[in-house]
Amino acid sequence: MMDRAVYRIIDANFNRAREALRVMEEYCRFAVNNGSLSGRAKQLRHELCAAIGQLEQGKLLAGRDTLGDVGVGQRVENQLERATAAEAFTAGARRLTEALRALAEMVQAESKPVAAAIERLRYQAYTLEKDVVLFAGPVERFNRVQLYVIVTSDLPAEILSLASRCAAGGADCIQLRAKGMPDERLFAVAVEFVDICRDLGALSIVNDRIDIAAAAGADGVHLGQDDLPVEQARRLQLSPLIVGKSTHNDSELERAIGAMPSYVSLGPAFTTVTKPKIEVAGTDYIRHGLQRLAETGVSHVAIGGITHENVELLLRAGVQRVAVCAAVTEAPSPADACRRIKDKMAEFLSG
Ligand SMILES: Cc1ncc(COP(=O)(O)OP(=O)(O)O)c(N)n1
Ligand SMILES: Cc1nc(C(=O)O)sc1CCOP(=O)(O)O
Ligand SMILES: [Mg+2]
């Protein structure tokens, strides 16, 4: 009799875990658009089926008694009321780990190797949930950006004044790029910069320095080819951060995609006065980059020599976000310069 009850519990939790994994896989595939994360959910589902397949299938089915299940029809408040796909994913992940725990305990008496395999799957499920949440949340926030302004200066007052004026002009995201400031001063400026951006509704990104970004409470960090790798930066974050990565050619792009940043910058699109020595990658690289990124869920921003006069060329190539430095920060009115670019983008995207 006990044996039957155990198999009944195993059957119910196997179905629960499989169904939860399907929800997680669909979220990764259709909401996050990331093949590698959806592939991991699929792999977990296959491994779970293989582990349970080692038990006697006849006993599992014989144990099933849905009509006699006293739990059928019992609903707790909010069950099945998910406002977003992300909430459905999180609820699925919770159901999955609970079901795997119940499975591992019940299978123990029948087969120790199967119980051990299920325990391994439970730990993989925790890691998958973490990787999905840390990737998808920041990407979703960054995807709302259209105009990303890079404030390049080592003068604290100038940085803060430019950040306010650009945010007032409609910049959705602002980067603090101070290449020659001592750490103590950089941290103090970063704290004020983050406050200004938050008050005016813009995302705050710190260039190069994950430590300063995390300590100042910024929304993200931008990393170049010579900066800390994306994987290492993620390990140092204190809360989910937007992590950007520069790319200038196909091989940098492939490596960047492997590390799953929140966005990659594609550039330089045109000749840039801010980095006069860098080789122009051109609009063909940007077009190719956009195609390649489409199946990864990684967001993008085009960069390099962008002005209100050439932005339409990029929009025609499919660009949805642009990063601009000199055309805004060197303009007589940075706020007006932001508005001009935003208006061009709005005009194109609505037409
Ligand atoms: C949005 C964005 N894209 C590219 C860069 C350049 O980063 P990197 O190559 O590390 O060069 P520096 O800006 O650090 O000199 C960026 N900062 N922002
Ligand atoms: C800082 C930077 N990085 C680039 C890259 O392609 O990695 S282009 C660039 C300069 C962007 O400034 P502007 O809008 O003045 O051209
Ligand atoms: Mg850098």
- Assembly ipTM: 0.99
- Using DSSP, state whether 21 is helix, strand or coil: helix
Asked whether residue 232 carries a pLDDT value surpassing 80, the answer given is: yes
pTM equals: 0.91
Mean pLDDT score of the chain, rounded to an integer? 94
Mean pLDDT of 66-86: 71
326 lines ligand 2 (CB under 6 A): yes
User: What CATH class does 144-350 carry?
Assistant: alpha beta
To the nearest 10°, report the CA torsion of 8, 11, 14, 18. -130
- Nearest ligand, measured from the Cα of 306: 2
Q: Tokens 């001592």, residue?
A: 182
pLDDT at 75: 65
276 band by pLDDT with thresholds 50, 70 and 90:
very high
Give the mean pLDDT of 248-252.
98
Nearest to 166 by CA among 346, 60, 6, 325: 325
Does the structure show a pLDDT above 50 at 322?
yes
User: Is 203 annotated as a binding-site member?
Assistant: no
Q: What is the pLDDT of residue 62?
A: 73
| 207 annotated to a ligand binding site | yes
pLDDT on residue 260: 96
Mutate to test the pocket of ligand 2, among 274, 310, 329 (most ligand atoms within 8 A of CB): 274
Q: In this predicted structure, what is the pLDDT of residue 83? A: 80
CB 121 within 8 A of CB 48: yes
pLDDT, position 295: 87
Which positions ≥6 away from 349 have C-beta within 8 Å?
315
* Confidence label for 77 from pLDDT (cuts 50, 70 and 90): low
Q: Does ligand 2 lie within 6 Å of residue 248's CB atom? A: yes
- The alpha carbon of 63 and the centre of ligand 1 are apart by a number of angstroms equal to 60
Q: How far apart are CA 59 and CA 320, in angstroms?
A: 55
Residue 210: nearest ligand to its CA? 3
Nearest ligand to the C-alpha atom of residue 178 = 1
pLDDT digits (tens, 9 = 90+) for 197-211: 999 999 999 999 999
Q: What is the 3-state secondary structure (H, E, C) of 165-183?
A: HHHHCCCCEEEEECCCCCH
Q: How far is the CA of 318 from the centre of ligand 3 (A)?
A: 26
**Residue 72 pLDDT > 70:** no
Average pLDDT over residues 22-47: 96
- CA-based angle 41:47:48, to the nearest 5? 90
Of all protein residues, whose CA lies closest to atom 4 belonging to ligand 1? 246
Nearest to 305, CA basis, from 277, 267, 342, 337: 267
DSSP character at residue 71: T
Q: What is the pLDDT of residue 58?
A: 81
Q: State residue 73's pLDDT score.
A: 66
CB neighbour list of residue 176: distance below 8 Å, 6 or more residues apart: 151, 159, 163, 189, 190, 193, 204, 205, 206, 207, 218
For the cut 70, the answer to whether the pLDDT of residue 287 exceeds it is yes
The two three-digit tokens of residue 246, written as one number: 């520069």
* CA 252 to ligand 3 center in whole angstroms: 14
Q: Is 175 assigned to a binding site?
A: yes
State in Å: Cα 271 to ligand 2 middle: 9
Under 8 Å between Cβ of 121 and 96:
no
**Average pLDDT value for residue range 280-301:** 97
Q: Residue range 52-64: average pLDDT?
A: 82
The pLDDT of residue 1 is: 43
| CA 189 to centroid of chain Cα atoms | 26
User: Which ligand 2 atom is nearest residue 247's CA?
Assistant: 7
Q: Which stretch of 78-92, 111-125, 151-165, 177-191 has the lowest confidence by average pLDDT?
A: 78-92
Please name the residues in contact with 67: beta carbons below 8 A apart, sequence gap of 6 or more. none
Q: Which residues pair with residue 300 across a beta bridge? A: 264
Per-residue pLDDT for 63 more than 80? no
Query: For residue 152, which of 137, 163, 138 has the smallest C-alpha distance?
Result: 163
Query: 71: how many CB neighbours lie within 10 A of its CB?
Result: 7
Ligand 2 pocket: which of 152, 249, 303, 341 to mutate (most atoms within 8 A of CB): 303
What pLDDT is stored for residue 213 in this prediction?
98
Alpha-carbon distance 328 to 166, whole Å?
A: 8
State the burial class of residue 89 (Cβ atoms within 10 Å of its Cβ: 0-12, 13-18, 19+).
Answer: buried
Check if 280 has its Cβ closer than 6 Å to any atom of ligand 2: no
Residue 293 has pLDDT above 90, yes or no: yes
Q: Give the residue extent of every domain in the chain.
A: 2-65+83-139, 144-350
CA of 207 to the centre of ligand 1 (A): 7
324 lines ligand 2 (CB under 6 A): yes
Residue 303: φ, ψ to 5°: -145, 160
The answer to whether the annotation marks 305 as part of a ligand binding site is: yes
From the CA of 300, how far away is ligand 2's center (Å)?
Answer: 14
Contact call for residues 115 and 306 (beta carbons, < 8 A): no
227 labelled as ligand-binding? yes
**Predicted local distance difference test score (pLDDT) of residue 252:** 98
